[in-house]
Amino acid sequence: MLGASHTGRVVRRLVGKAAIVLVCDGIADRPVQDYKFKTPLEVANTPHISRLTKAGSVGIVDPIRPGVRPGSDVAHFALLGYDPYQYYTGRGSLEAEGAGITLKPGDVAFRCNFATVDENMKVLDRRAGRIRTGTSRLAKVLNKMQLEAATGVKVQFHETVEHRAVLVFSGEGISRMVSDVDPHSTGVRILKSKPLDTTEEAARTAQGLNEFVRRSFELLKGHPVNIKRAKKGKKPANIILPRGPGTLPSITPLPELYNVKAACIAAVAMVRGICKIAGMSLIDVKGATGGLNTDFLAKARAAIEASRQNDLVFVHVKACDVASHDGDFKMKVKIIEKIDEMVGLIIDKVGLSTNYFSVTCDHCTPVNVRDHTSDPVPLAIAGPDVPSSRISKFTENNAAAGNIGRIPASSLIPTLMDYLGKAEKFGF
């Protein structure tokens, strides 16, 4: 298409093109002695991702900045182009949005577990025996709780998947600056939430949270669901343990920033939440689990389909990170090879001559560390007009020699938007 720019000159506009971003959670690693100092990406057979690196540009990406260890939430903020130092307002709100709960500005959302405590409030099981049924009946009694008169906060409680739930506080004068009640381990007493700053709002919220937790025990301990569980020898879901408070971040959604349609294919609630807040439509894929057993090819097919209706398709695959947290090198290699199949399918269907395809990672999760590290992660971008790096394999060290150099994660979406002809000029 030819169009007139604001200067009146006729410029080429790229049309009918989409960009697919495949985020392989935790795919980057460090050299592992037991595997001849190779990384899983170096050991895995990845002919299709290699098609991307040979055809396209390659580089390394700082999830946040060099030396800063990223949480998954913060890393995804950056990957979507938002500076987490400016926009990140806690995790609970992202989980809530991802679970389909719509927050209002000012609401404070907490991630929660149904858990088991003894009479002394000592945690016996943070997941209440991985309870799967009856949580909606338990939620019902919690939602009848009237905290407003006592503490000024309104309570909404939403059970989500298995032992997980979201607690939303709303009302005037509340704050996310409060500490967790969940002690994050068993055999210890639950914590008292404390205000993390000196505001009245934080004090009120901490008080409300402690009161909510206290009453949750009163309401749940004798609940018929738990009496039935006890009879079956199961642990009771006799308390709610909130953690990770968050408010809705005030970001300008991608469709508004770039005049694009964007879609997200992800199973992990937090990723879905961020993408939703960023203005993406959420596509559900049957068989996408967020685990090792996810249906990789179903996700690939969904991405291909979505690329026909959207300018930007964000695909998140969690499995590599799961294998990494388990310290399982061989499983990680296997997952990488499944991801490679996904990439092959997508490239074959959407093509690199009319569409953009980018593969990267939210953060490094070395199998030897079993947690996120700050290492830069590899990035490949292929598609029309993209300079070729001629790099033959997508690995951490090869990427460091790539033609992109080292960029922050928050630059990926702007770069793709520019390739799509969707980026506004800064200045004239």
The span of 43-51, 128-136, 284-292, 410-418 binding a copy of itself (CB under 8 A) equals: 410-418
Contact with a copy of itself (CB under 8 A): which of 121, 203, 298, 407? Answer: 407
Least distance between a copy of itself and beta carbon 197 (Å): 17
Question: Quick count: other Cβ atoms within 10 Å of Cβ 5?
Answer: 10
Of 60 and 285, nearer to a copy of itself (C-beta) is 60
Interface with a copy of itself: number of residues (CB under 8 A): 75
Structure token pair of residue 194: 């404390």
Q: State whether residue 279 is helix, strand or coil.
A: coil
According to CB under 8 A, which residues from 360 to 379 bind a copy of itself? 366, 368-376
User: Are the beta carbons of 334 and 40 closer than 8 angstroms?
Assistant: no
Contact with a copy of itself (CB under 8 A): which of 19, 21, 43, 60? Answer: 60
Least distance between a copy of itself and beta carbon 174 (Å): 21
Q: Quick one: which of 311, 323, 322 has its CA closest to 268?
A: 322
According to CB under 8 A, which residues from 271 to 300 bind a copy of itself? none
Of 154 and 406, nearer to a copy of itself (C-beta) is 406
What is the rounded distance in angstroms from the CA atom of residue 112 to the CA atom of residue 163?
8
Q: Quick one: which of 30, 3, 83 has its CA closest to 252?
A: 83
Structure token pair of residue 5: 């720019």
Contact with a copy of itself (CB under 8 A): which of 26, 40, 70, 279? Answer: 70
According to CB under 8 A, which residues from 80 to 119 bind a copy of itself? 84, 88, 91
Of 6 and 232, nearer to a copy of itself (C-beta) is 6
What does the CA dihedral 426, 277, 279, 376 come to, rounded to 10 degrees?
60
Of 149 and 185, nearer to a copy of itself (C-beta) is 185
User: Are the beta carbons of 141 and 223 closer than 8 angstroms?
Assistant: yes
Least distance between a copy of itself and beta carbon 103 (Å): 18
According to CB under 8 A, which residues from 230 to 269 bind a copy of itself? 244
The CA–CA distances, whole Å, from 267 to 92, 106, 214 equal 17, 26, 33
**Contact between 400 and a copy of itself per CB under 8 A:** yes
User: Are the beta carbons of 271 and 98 closer than 8 angstroms?
Assistant: yes
According to CB under 8 A, which residues from 164 to 203 bind a copy of itself? 182-185
Least distance between a copy of itself and beta carbon 323 (Å): 16
According to CB under 8 A, which residues from 14 to 33 bind a copy of itself? 30-31
Residues found in the chain: 428
Looking at 232-380, list the stretches that DSSP marks H as alpha helix, in order from N- to C-terminal side: 254-258, 269-277, 296-307, 319-325, 329-350
Handedness of CA 300, 301, 302, 304 (dihedral sign): positive
The span of 146-154, 278-286, 288-296, 415-423 binding a copy of itself (CB under 8 A) equals: 415-423
Least distance between a copy of itself and beta carbon 94 (Å): 9
**Contact between 405 and a copy of itself per CB under 8 A:** yes
Of 222 and 405, nearer to a copy of itself (C-beta) is 405
What is the rounded distance in angstroms from the CA atom of residue 67 to the CA atom of residue 208?
37
Contact with a copy of itself (CB under 8 A): which of 34, 36, 67, 233? Answer: 67
Task: Compose the 39-58 pattern: x for residues touching a copy of itself by CB under 8 A, - for all others.
Answer: x-------------------
What is the rounded distance in angstroms from the CA atom of residue 314 to the CA atom of residue 22?
6
**Contact between 428 and a copy of itself per CB under 8 A:** yes
Q: Quick one: which of 321, 328, 336 has its CA closest to 42?
A: 336
**Contact between 64 and a copy of itself per CB under 8 A:** yes
